Amino acid sequence: MRRGDSGESRLMALLASLCFSIPTSAFVWFAANRELAFWQGYLGSGWLWGSILLFSVVAFASPRLFPSLIGAIWRVIHRLALGWW
């Protein structure tokens, strides 16, 4: 733990991360299920909850890494949506 990272600041980072990780996880889960529906496949809700939990663990363990991770995911989503790969 870094000197300025108290337990309280990590919990606040975890709570703040939920505002970003839940919509990101839901968007990726819905998009994946939309593509899998073409092939008669489906990702269960466990995958959604698992990704939210994974984002929460990353936000708690490394509050400085989490914004970069979410930003990278949204940049990929944006590129895919515009067809720029």
What's phi and psi for 55, nearest 5 deg?
-60, -40
Spell out the domain ranges in the chain. Answer: 7-82
Helix (H, G, I), strand (E, B) or coil at 85: coil
pLDDT in tens, the chain (85 residues): 455 567 787 788 788 888 888 898 898 888 888 888 888 888 888 998 998 898 888 888 887 888 888 999 999 888 888 876 5
pTM reported for the whole predicted model: 0.74
76 vs 1: CA distance, rounded Å: 30
Which stretches of 1-85 are DSSP H helices? 7-38, 45-61, 66-82
